[in-house]
Each structure stands twice: as C-alpha cells, then as structure tokens.
Amino acid sequence: MLDIKKSDIEKIKNAGHVVFFSGAGMSQESGIATFRGKDGIWNKFKPEELANINGFMKNPDMVWEWYKYRHDIVRNAEPNQGHIAIAEFQKYLPKVTVITQNIDNLHKRAGSKNIFELHGNIERNYCMKCKTFYNEINEIPEVPKCRCGGLIRPDVVWFGEYLPQDQFQGAELAASNCDIFFVVGTSAVVYPAASLIYTAKDCGAIIFEINIEKTDISILARESFIGKAGNLLPMILKEIKE
Ligand code: OAD
C-alpha cells in the first residue's frame, strides 16, 4: 500500500521539475541483480578484478567475457512497471529528468527522454587508444582490437575512474534546480553519484525515497516509501493522474 499524503501529491503535481535518481534496485524487477546485499553481484564477484582498469589490463578476455555475460542479461531484460511509470510521468509534469547509476539502458528503452547516465552504458564500447566508439560488438567472445591496434573496453565507469563529466555536470545542474528529487532503488553509498542527493537537498528540493529498506540517506527524505519500485512508482503516477 502507498502511504502518501495528499499534500505531497499536490506538491508533485505542481512541481516545475522532478528528478528521478535511480540505482540497481530500479532494475531488480527486470531480473538484473543488484550489487550489494545477500544476492548482490559484489558478493559473488570481485570488483577489483572485474570493475577496475588494472583487472582489465591483467586479464582483458576475462573482463570482456564478464561484460558480454552481463550484456546478454540486459539485452534479454525488459523495462519493468517502474521504468514505464517514470517515462509516463513525462506526460503529466512540465519537466522530468532521470539520473541513473545503471548501465542497462532500461530507462531509455521504457521511453524516458532526458537521461544522465553517470556510470556509462553497457551497450557502448570504445578504443582505449584512439577513443573510437563501437556499438553492437558485445557478442564477440574475446576482447576485440580497434583498427588502430588499441584494446576495446566497455563504456562503463570502473572503480577509481572519473564519471563522464558532461553527464555529471548535467546531473548536478538538474539536482540543483529541481523541486522534487526521487531516490529510487539505490543504497546511496557510491560517490560522487550519491552526493547529488545532498546537492538536491541543499538546493531546497523535497526528497522522496523508494526502496525495499531504509538507507543511509533516508534521514534526508521527507518520506521513505518502503516497497518495490515496480509497485510504488505506478501507484504514485496514478495519484498524479487523478
Ligand atoms: P546497490 O546494490 O548498492 O543497492 C541497490 C538498492 O536497491 C538497495 O538499497 C536495495 O535495498 C534496493 N532495492 C532492491 N530491490 C529493489 C526494488 N525492487 N525496488 C526498490 N529498491 C530495491 O546498487 P546501487 O546503489 O545502484 O557502480 O550501487 C551503486 C553503484 O555501485 C553501481 O552503479 C555500481 C556499483 O558498484 C559501478 O559499477 C561504477
């Protein structure tokens, strides 16, 4: 059940700009594993081997194969009711921005338009030497080489790497000039992405959280709605439409 105050529904309805900031929990109901917790990816695999430039240079084929495996999962997944609801909010509110830590492209596939991808996108790859981008090559079983001879890597952010500056700057601007900032399905422990929640709060946005449990940032939120994103987001959308 959704326990949201009528006054908060009115605030969302009257907002000029609403941001949805999403993490792995957003795609959990699409069958994509989250990172932390009992069944989390980082409980089974080592980030220092698979999400790190040194791990890639040591064993590029293994890292490539792991991303190929994850790419297959993502390609076979479908946007869930939560992604679809966020895309539908665009029809009812003047401005909606999606900021995501996910690399799975599901917000875009659901129809969201204004998206900042903070940690890259698993559909894209690029040459480490000449920076040429390559799409549609994830099916190749071993790490491919560019025409220039450089190694091709997935266009995702690994530990110790900077976020894509255009994406982070756009996200910071959105966080600092929105009225409502929804934090959906993230443990909010990875920085600088999680700093955007503080930016939004400091700039006066109302924070709502949607998660199956409380997190470190629940204290910043006006309300933490406990439940699955795929259930709660369509319920909030329904209230907005009425
Ligand atoms: P986490 O795995 O750290 O957190 C997922 C969050 O989603 C947890 O707080 C869960 O309680 C919540 N959750 C799970 N299922 C849910 C559901 N159906 N509905 C709502 N909430 C649900 O994932 P992130 O916070 O996204 O970075 O992790 C941040 C970054 O750490 C990732 O982008 C990735 C990872 O290392 C990189 O790879 C650079």
Tokens of 71: 């790419």
Q: Is 6 exposed, middle or buried (0-12, 13-18, 19+ CB in 10 A)?
A: exposed
Q: What is the pLDDT of residue 84?
A: 98
φ/ψ of residue 21, rounded to 5:
-110, 115
> What parts of the chain have a pLDDT lower than 50?
none
Rg of the chain's alpha carbons, rounded to an integer?
Answer: 18
Nearest-angstrom CA–CA distance, 47 and 176 = 31
The active-site residue out of 71, 83, 107, 119 is 119
Please indicate whether residue 222, judged by its CB atom, sits closer than 6 Å to ligand 1.
no
Q: Tell me if 83 CB under 6 Å of ligand 1.
A: no
Q: Could you tell me if the CB of 164 is within 6 A of ligand 1?
A: no
CA nearest neighbour of 26 among 108, 91, 136, 135: 108
Would you give the distance in Å from CA 177 to the centre of its chain?
Answer: 20
pLDDT of residue 107: 98
Which residue, by CA, sits nearest to atom 35 of ligand 1? 35
The confidence score (pLDDT) of residue 2 equals 87
Domains and CATH numbers, the chain: 1-32+79-119+163-242 (3.40.50.1220), 36-76+124-156 (3.30.1600.10)
C-alpha of residue 187 to centroid of ligand 1, in Å: 5
Neighbours of 45 (CB within 10 A): 13
Q: How far is the CA of 41 from the centre of ligand 1 (A)?
A: 10
pTM: 0.97
Atom of ligand 1 nearest to the CA of 36: 2
Say if ligand 1 is within 6 A of residue 51 CB: yes
Q: Is the CB of 40 under 6 A from ligand 1?
A: yes
Catalytic, 119? Answer yes
**Ligand 1: nearest atom to the Cα of 35:** 2
> Is the Cβ–Cβ distance between 51 and 158 less than 8 Å?
yes
| pLDDT score at 141 | 86
